Amino acid sequence: MNPAGNQEPRAWTARRWWTMAVLVLMIHVGLIFALGARKLRPVRTVSRVPVLHWAAANDEFIALNDPALFALPQANDFGAAIRTQTPAFNPRPFYWTEPARWPPLAPAPPDRTFGRFLQSNAPPVAALDFAPEPQFDAPAVPALTALRQPSTLRLRGELAGRPLLAPPHLPAWPAADVIAPSKVQVLVDPAGGVVSAVLLPPDLGLESDLHDDHADQTALNLARNARFAPAARLTVGQMIFNWETVPPPATNAPATSP
């Protein structure tokens, strides 16, 4: 048997543990209600505190620090009212009417005025009496026929360095006046064939008046069928056709009525 002083303590039972847990929970709830009902003391409003205000630019004390206070005009001196006072000005209403424009008298026709001048200022007539009457002899000047210039083709731009393999035959156009040149912009591939041909409009001025549709269409067809020497890359340029003109054929005159 163990002595009475060396007995082991007994373990807590489940009932004792639950009793302690409920007791601790009640203590926590009591502390929450006891301390949560306390209100904080309201903050006391602070009064009679010194406040710093910035002085305005037009304050009198600031103006006293200006070294030019009495040397230059100020906005509040005795002369400010005189300087800022605007004199009264009452403009008069402006009324203007244009004077009447009467139509001028129709002048006399120029031919009538010139006839009256000739009637009143007849030139003096002087009779020439030659004995014998002079014979005027002038050398016969042969009629010079205009030199005919055949139709030509000129290359402009990068095409000037690529010769034509077969120059086209350029016809002459029957016309009473000259014909404006036909300008065609072409794109030539490296093999020498024409990929694109566009007819350019005539320049403003005389060329637009001397423009001929048939000649331009012929130039466009010749440009599309042209063949150039081979090159390393695409070439862009212009083909300018200068046309020769010949007198149009004479037509039979209409019969005159008796």
Sheet containing 194-199: which strands, arranged edge to edge? 152-157, 235-242, 182-188, 194-199
Handedness of CA 108, 109, 115, 121 (dihedral sign): positive
Q: Would residue 157 be called left, alpha or beta, if left means φ above 0 and alpha means ψ between -120 and 50 degrees?
A: left
Q: What is the pLDDT of residue 106?
A: 64
pLDDT above 70 coverage of the chain, percent: 72
- What is the radius of gyration, based on Cα positions, of the chain? 60
pLDDT digits (tens, 9 = 90+) for 140-161: 555 444 456 788 888 888 888 8
Residue with tokens 């009198």: 60
Q: How far apart are CA 238 and CA 199, in angstroms?
A: 10
The residue that leads in pLDDT, 185 or 49, is 185
Report the alpha-carbon distance of residue 240 to residue 184 in Å, rounded: 6
* 3-class DSSP assignment, residue 10: coil
- Give the DSSP H or E segment for 235: strand 235-242
User: Exposed (0-12), middle (13-18) or buried (19+): which is 189, by Cβ within 10 Å?
Assistant: middle
CB 172 within 8 A of CB 245: yes
Express each pLDDT in 58-78 by its tens digit.
677 777 777 877 778 777 777
Average pLDDT along the chain = 76
- Confidence band, pLDDT 50/70/90 cuts, at residue 38: low
pLDDT value at position 23?
A: 92
Q: Of 49-53, 132-136, 214-218, which range is least confident?
A: 132-136
